Amino acid sequence: EDKVVQSPLSLVVHEGDTVTLNCSYEVTNFRSLLWYKQEKKAPTFLFMLTSSGIEKKSGRLSSILDKKELSSILNITATQTGDSAIYLCAVLRYAGNMLTFGGGTRLMVKP
């Protein structure tokens, strides 16, 4: 059975801090790992990672995959209150139509 574990469960930081969120997985025939941000309703897509060691970046957010360690990290630099959300990690396997999600990390950024 595919398994995705995210840590920490929750995190409280102050504006300007840098945070690192972790995602580890156990999945047969791994194809890709995806990160989503969920503020109040629909999760919105952030990154998709398929290759080890190649950083994806969007503004203050960046993410990298380590296939050897079966994990990924999501970094947010210079955090802002608008970064407060649940961050979800999911994996997709080859020949599969389904994403397996982790339990999420709840990030709260205080002013």
Partner 1 sequence: SQTIHQWPATLVQPVGSPLSLECTVEGTSNPNLYWYRQAAGRGLQLLFYSVGIGQISSEVPQNLSASRPQDRQFILSSKKLLLSDSGFYLCAWKRTGTGGHEQYFGPGTRLTVT
Binding site for partner 1 (CB under 8 A): 4, 6, 31-32, 34, 36, 41-45, 48, 50, 86, 88, 90, 92, 97-104, 106
Question: Residue 45 Cβ, how far from partner 1 at the closest point, in Å?
Answer: 5
Nearest distance in Å: CB 38, partner 1: 8
Beta bridge partners of residue 47, listed in sequence order: 35
Cβ closer to partner 1: 5 or 78?
5
Which two three-digit tokens encode residue 74?
A: 């999501």
Taking CA 1 as the corner, what is the angle to CA 22 and CA 96, rounded to the nearest 5 degrees? Answer: 90
The least CB distance from residue 44 to partner 1, in Å, is 8
Q: How far apart are CA 23 and CA 8, in angstroms?
A: 9
Q: Which is nearer to partner 1, 7 or 18 (CB)?
A: 7
Q: How far is CA 17 from CA 42, 58, 69, 75, in A?
A: 26, 17, 26, 11
Length of the chain: 111
Shortest distance, position 34 Cβ to partner 1, whole Å: 6
Q: Which is nearer to partner 1, 31 or 57 (CB)?
A: 31
Would you say 19 or 104 has its CB closer to partner 1? 104
Can you tell me whether residue 4 is helix, strand or coil?
strand
Name residue, tokens 């952030």. 46
